[in-house]
Each structure stands twice: as C-alpha cells, then as structure tokens.
Amino acid sequence: MQELIEPLAGLVAAGGVVVLSGAGLSTESGIPDYRGPSGVARRHTPMTYQTFLADAVARRRYWARSHLGWRVIAGAEPNDGHRAVARLQRGGLVTGIITQNVDGLHSAAGSRDVTELHGRLDEVVCLGCRRRTSRAEVDGRLRAANPAFGAHAVEVNPDGDVDLADAQVAAFRTVDCSACGGLLKPDVVFFGETVPATRVQSCFALVEQARLLLVLGSSLTVMSGRRFVIRAAKRNVPVVIVNQGPTRGDGYACLRVPAPLGRVLPAVADRLLGAAPSTVPAVPSPVGG
C-alpha cells in the first residue's frame, strides 16, 4: 500500500487539487456502484426524463422503487474516504469538489461548496411551479398515502432506485405538489435530461484552474464525467485516477491507483496533514433530513 500512497501524496502535496468523485467513493457507505467490484447490475431500463413525463404508470413504478431506495440512501453515512476529502479541503490542498453522486455524503462529511453535477436525492422539485421541497417531507406524504406498502429493498442502485416486481407496485399511490398539484420529481438529472449548462461551465472553470484533477471512484464510462478529464488533458492539467477497476479515462492519467479509497485517501491525508483526531464530531447528513 505504501508504494501507492507515496506517489499520490507527492502529487497532492502541492495543492490546487480538484476532486471529481463517482459512485465508487460511496460503496463503503453501503451504496453499491454500477460497474466496480461491489457493483449491482440493473434488471430494468433506467428511467428516462421523457418516459417520466409521458407515462403515469412508469412514474408510479419509479416512485415505488425510489421510495424504498431512498430509505437506504437516507440512512447512509460518510465513510473514511469522504472524511479524508473533507480533511484535505480544510487543509487547503483540495480547492474544488465535483461529484457525480446524488447521495449528499461529501457535504455530510464536512466538505464545503460541493458541485453536485447530477443534483441531490434529498430535494424534490415540482415540474409545474418549480417549488422545491425536502425529500423527507415527500417521503412522509408517500408513507401516509401507502400505509400498507410492505415491499422491502434488497439491492439499491447509486441513484436510489431498486428492483421491484410489477405486482408490488400496482397499488402504490404517488403524490403531487402540495402547492399547485403539479408533477413531483427528485431534483436529480435523469437519463435523457441535460445537466444545467451553468453547472457544467462552473465545473469546467474549476478544472481549468486546477493544478491537479483527482478522480475518485468513477469508471468515467459516461461523458458526463469524462468530459472534465478530457478538458484537463487539453489544458495540460495532470490527471490522477484512484479506482479499483479500469476506467475510460486511464489513457489520460499520469498516475493510476487501483486501491480502496477508504484506505488510500485517509493515508494520504495523514501523510500530508498529520494523523486525524481520534474523535471527530459527527455532521448530520443533509440527505437523512
């Protein structure tokens, strides 16, 4: 492990690090990723924005599955990897954090000014009046509307979705916006939906100003995250990738570290900032609401 930590710590030591994190960073919090060693394979096609808008049956199926998956996400806590990133930020070495995750665990670990590329599951938006409410509030309304809903989540996807048989969702009741009666949607980017342009541009700006782009737990399979690695390479910003499996960005990396993030990142933080205190005050998870 030491032979992996030393070169990584040497690159991080100069500061100016922008982190790009993916689902692999949250696996040690009990949220499996899609493609890594702890990944889960979808048994159904992921919900698209177009289908969500057009198909009431599909919306009911989505909300039933997400209603269960949300309980798992809401109960997750930051792991040692999240806490190490927050320590490196407090120590002045990490200057920006971009995450593809929707679980809110970076913020729960104490990181500041996190750019959540794909939004957050703990917020719900009305597609009519655009009013935002907490997922906890909507969860309470869904529980009240479905007192006999007894399905249990076996596996949860990183976006909070789970696999359920159609028979289990047939009687599920959705709820609408309490202000205008419009359609409610978790404030996350669905397949077929675009990330807001201003958010993308702010991420590009972070990458262009970075001294180092540090990719943590992302396979970089989709362009949504890989474009920042490509931009860094074009601007001669070194790219370091820490991920247990291969990624589609490996060809751009000056260093590739195939090791568990929960072990490597705390070791790097200890190496550069000194050993962490034995007790750290817990930060309530905003996702747990």
Q: Domains (ranges, CATH) in the chain?
A: 2-288 (3.40.50.1220)
Determine the average pLDDT of the residues in 189-193.
92
Determine the average pLDDT of the residues in 141-149.
92
Determine the average pLDDT of the residues in 94-110.
97
265-281 tens-digit pLDDT: 999 999 999 987 654 44
For the chain, the three-class secondary structure string (H helix, E strand, C coil) is CHHHHHHHHHHHCCCCEEEEECHHHHHHHCCCCCCCCCCCCCCCCCCEHHHHHHCHHHHHHHHHHHHHHHHHHHHCCCCHHHHHHHHHHHCCCEEEEEECCCCCHHHHCCCCCEEECCEEEEEEEECCCCCEEEHHHHHHHHHHHCCCCCCCCCCECCCCCECCCHHHHCCCCCCCCCCCCCCEEEEECCECCCCCHHHHHHHHHHHHHCCEEEEECCCCCCHHHHHHHHHHHHCCCCEEEECCCCCCCHHHCCEEECCCHHHHHHHHHHHHHCCCCCCCCCCCCHHHC
Determine the average pLDDT of the residues in 23-29.
95
Residues facing 21 on adjacent strands: 99, 216
Q: For residue 287, what pLDDT is reported? A: 56
For residue 187, name the pLDDT band (cuts at 50, 70, 90).
Answer: very high
Cβ atoms of residues 18 and 210 within 8 Å: yes
Binding residues: 100-103, 126, 129, 177, 180, 217-219, 243-245, 261
From 67, 82, 106, 118, active-site residue? 118
Residue % of the chain over a pLDDT of 70: 85
Q: Is 118 a catalytic residue?
A: yes
Choose between 286 and 93: higher pLDDT: 93
For residue 282, name the pLDDT band (cuts at 50, 70, 90).
Answer: very low
Q: For residue 36, what pLDDT is reported? A: 47
Binding residues for Zn(2+): 126, 129, 177, 180
pTM of the model: 0.87
Cβ atoms of residues 225 and 22 within 8 Å: yes
Q: Is the pLDDT of residue 214 over 70?
A: yes
2-23 tens-digit pLDDT: 888 999 999 999 999 999 999 9
For residue 69, name the pLDDT band (cuts at 50, 70, 90).
Answer: confident
Q: For residue 278, what pLDDT is reported? A: 55
For residue 103, name the pLDDT band (cuts at 50, 70, 90).
Answer: very high
Token pair 């954090």 is found at: 97
